[in-house]
């Protein structure tokens, strides 16, 4: 059997932090509401484009795997907030890191994009089309955010993660997954004004508004991820007792707690970092996986279940067998450029830009 082992991992977190108190300076909200309803305390605001975040995450992932950019045969860029749609953003990452042997594609399934990208690359490695890949989950949602709408503005943040995958004979990487979509409910999470159908000479691409029915999304998130987890456990022949870690998409701590209760998983097996970053959409689950590894929680050979949910409404769950190595081979010297503004100043600039439209 051929598998796609995860042998490299890297994240790129924008340095500027937007706290709940910062949000309360321009929205009718407060730290107590955001913390108790979502579990979020702060999130990052990016001063660079999403491809630059991805570049740093990819260079760190390659160093971690002890590989060079020339070893990469495929780049899959999972996101909702691509710098540009034609040419695709994966091709920009290819050029930035010098991965001239890599095929390049973008994948957009909203918050599940990083996990769907993992499926695409894993399947291509397992079927023998390629032997190595970089997958990316990255977002700069701050530029698309409707900063006047407290229902959504408090929930999201920016960030990036990348994994390096390589062909391996021993059971490792994704061993089973389940993917799906509640297309009939797609309007309950949508960004009005973002996409070709909205092109209008009188309207700027920044002029967006979010349709976001929080409670409906909450129910679908629990149902979708619950169903995906059950199917994935069934496919892999594993039970909750076999799983060492549940590392879910982090959209709301209450969604995660409800899911975990439904699955009868011990809450100590659940990795949470939502308080640090909020919901980074495509980057969320992959950053959480990487941090669990960096914190030395994940041990060689352990089973990790990763449920995710996002606009579409897409859902997924991946069962991952971690490989033999939990330490990086090389440290990367890749860094983001320095940032001379606070997160609040950057958000205020975005609010000003929108007011000028």
Residue nearest to ligand UT7 (CB): 214
β-strand partners of 106: 77
Instruction: Decide: helix, strand or coil at residue 202.
Output: coil
Q: Cβ of residue 169: shortest distance to ligand UT7, in angstroms?
A: 36
Q: Cβ of residue 332: shortest distance to ligand UT7, in angstroms?
A: 29
**Is 104 known to be catalytic?**
no
Catalytic residue among 111, 229, 252, 273: 111
**Is 264 known to be catalytic?**
no
Scanning the chain, the segments in alpha helix (DSSP H) are: 20-23, 31-38, 50-65, 89-97, 113-126, 150-153, 214-236, 253-263, 274-277, 284-294, 343-355
Handedness of CA 197, 190, 118, 71 (dihedral sign): positive
Using the minimum distance from each CB to ligand UT7, give the nearer residue, 35 or 342. Answer: 35
**Is 111 known to be catalytic?**
yes
Using the minimum distance from each CB to ligand UT7, give the nearer residue, 104 or 347. Answer: 347
Whole-number Å distance between alpha carbons of 264 and 228: 15
Q: Cβ of residue 105: shortest distance to ligand UT7, in angstroms?
A: 23
CA angle 173, 159, 257 (to 5 degrees): 65
CA angle 14, 143, 15 (to 5 degrees): 10
Using the minimum distance from each CB to ligand UT7, give the nearer residue, 31 or 207. Answer: 31
Q: Which residues bind ligand UT7 (CB under 6 A)?
A: 29, 33, 37-38, 111, 150-151, 154, 189, 214-215, 217-218, 221, 251-252, 255, 279, 309-310
Q: Cβ of residue 316: shortest distance to ligand UT7, in angstroms?
A: 12
Catalytic residue among 249, 252, 273, 318: 249
Using the minimum distance from each CB to ligand UT7, give the nearer residue, 219 or 231. Answer: 219
Nearest Cα to 272, choosing from 244, 303, 246?
Answer: 246
Whole-number Å distance between alpha carbons of 106 and 129: 18
Catalytic residue among 20, 88, 273, 279: 279
Residues marked active site are found at 111, 249, 279
């Amino acid at each position: 059997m051929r598998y796609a082992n995860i042998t490299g991992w890297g994240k790129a977190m924008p340095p500027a932090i937007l706290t709940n108190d910062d949000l309360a300076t321009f929205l009718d909200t407060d730290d107590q509401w955001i913390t108790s309803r979502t579990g979020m305390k702060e999130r990052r605001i990016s001063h660079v484009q999403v491809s630059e975040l991805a570049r740093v995450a990819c260079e760190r992932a390659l160093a971690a795997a002890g590989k060079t950019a020339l070893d990469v045969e495929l780049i899959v860029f999972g996101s909702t907030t691509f710098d540009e749609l034609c040419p695709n953003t994966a091709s920009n990452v290819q050029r930035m890191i010098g991965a001239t042997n890599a095929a390049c594609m973008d994948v957009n399934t909203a918050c599940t994009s990083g996990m769907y990208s993992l499926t695409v690359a894993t399947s291509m490695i397992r079927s023998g089309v390629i032997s190595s890949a970089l997958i990316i989950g990255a977002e700069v949602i701050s530029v698309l955010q409707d900063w006047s709408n407290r229902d959504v503005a408090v929930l999201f943040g920016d960030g990036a993660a990348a994994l390096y995958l390589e062909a391996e004979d021993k059971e490792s990487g994704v061993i089973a997954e389940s993917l799906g979509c509640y297309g009939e409910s797609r309007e309950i999470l949508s960004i009005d004004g973002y996409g070709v159908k909205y092109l209008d000479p009188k309207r700027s691409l920044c002029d967006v508004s979010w349709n976001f029915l929080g409670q409906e999304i909450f129910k679908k998130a629990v149902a979708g991820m619950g169903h995906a987890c059950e199917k994935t456990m069934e496919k892999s022949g594993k039970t909750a007792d076999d799983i060492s870690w549940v590392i879910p998409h982090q959209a709301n701590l209450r969604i995660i707690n409800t899911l975990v209760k439904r699955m009868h998983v011990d809450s100590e097996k659940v990795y949470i970092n939502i308080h640090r970053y909020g919901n980074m959409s495509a980057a969320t689950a992959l950053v959480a996986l990487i941090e669990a590894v960096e914190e030395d929680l994940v041990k060689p050979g352990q089973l990790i279940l990763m449920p995710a949910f996002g606009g579409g409404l897409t859902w997924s769950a991946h069962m991952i067998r971690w490989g033999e190595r939990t330490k990086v081979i090389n440290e990367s010297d890749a860094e983001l450029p320095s940032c001379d503004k606070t997160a609040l100043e950057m958000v205020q600039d975005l609010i000003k830009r929108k007011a000028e439209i």
